[in-house]
Amino acid sequence: MAVEGEQQLQTNGHAKQAEESANSIQSKELRKKKRKKFLIFVAVSTLFQIAITLFSSLYIMKVKTPKFRIRSATFDVLSKNAEYSSFNITMNAEFGVMNANFGPYKYRDNTVYFFYKGVSIGKAFVSHGKAGFKSTKKFNVVVNLSSKDVLTKDSQIRNDLNSETLILTSKSKLEGKVALIFVLKKKKSTEMDCTITVGLADKVIRNIDCD
């Protein structure tokens, strides 16, 4: 009976050791799995942060140059005299400041100059304003254009008036700042250089081409 008892104790001891060994192995495997999950989480989080940083630096934080353009125009007054090589135009022009940035563009007061064959024929004052992020600020300005400073002996103006077509140009430089994340501000200027084809007979803008 004593021998059987000893054998039973040994059997129980071996079983307990085997159970403890199995539990230890299982515990190590669980710790390995948790450590592996933690490392995967850290790696994914790091990659996500890197992706966000790259996206911000390459796309959101990249400052693009806004565009300042004449969008359209109509005429309140359009008179011409081919004999005296003269014209007078009152034009209602719609301007647009196009901002493609992830932040508003605040621009200063500005003047748009109009030319015929390089000679100044009028100007328009543009007051300061703001184009919201990813949007276009539109506004209208009345412009008076006159050929009084153009040489009347210039045969080109007479020919243009007889052909019922005037080619005008407009130039300007708009200065301002783009606010990114409403904190970081970067100076940005944009230049207008537009060619305007005016149809005198039907009193319409036939084409506006801006660089």
Beta bridge partners of 185: 179
Q: What is the pLDDT of residues 104-152, one digit of tens each?
A: 999 999 999 999 988 999 999 999 999 998 999 999 999 999 988 776 5
Q: What is the pLDDT of residues 147-189, one digit of tens each?
A: 887 765 567 888 898 999 999 999 999 999 998 876 678 899 9
Q: Could you tell me the pTM of the whole model?
A: 0.71
**Is the per-residue pLDDT at 95 higher than 80?**
yes
Question: What pLDDT does 180 receive?
Answer: 81
**Is the per-residue pLDDT at 63 higher than 50?**
yes
Question: What pLDDT does 12 receive?
Answer: 54
SS (H, E, C) 60-129: HCCCCCCEEEEEEEEEEEEEEECCCCEEEEEEEEEEEEEECCCCCEEECCEEEEEEECCEEEEEEEECCE
Which of 141, 145, 138, 134 minimizes the C-alpha distance to 68?
A: 138
Distance CA 127, CA 199 (A): 29
CATH architecture of the domain formed by 67-210? Sandwich (2.60)
Give the DSSP letter string of 152-207.
Answer: TT-HHHHHHHHTTEEEEEEEEEEEEEEEETTTEEEEEEEEEEEEEEEETTTTEEEE
Residue 209 host element (H or E): strand 204-210
Question: What pLDDT does 170 receive?
Answer: 96
Contact predicate 194/143, CB 8 Å? no
Contact predicate 70/93, CB 8 Å? yes
Any idea which of 55-59, 71-75, 127-131 has the lowest mean pLDDT? Answer: 55-59
Domain boundaries, the chain: 1-61, 67-210
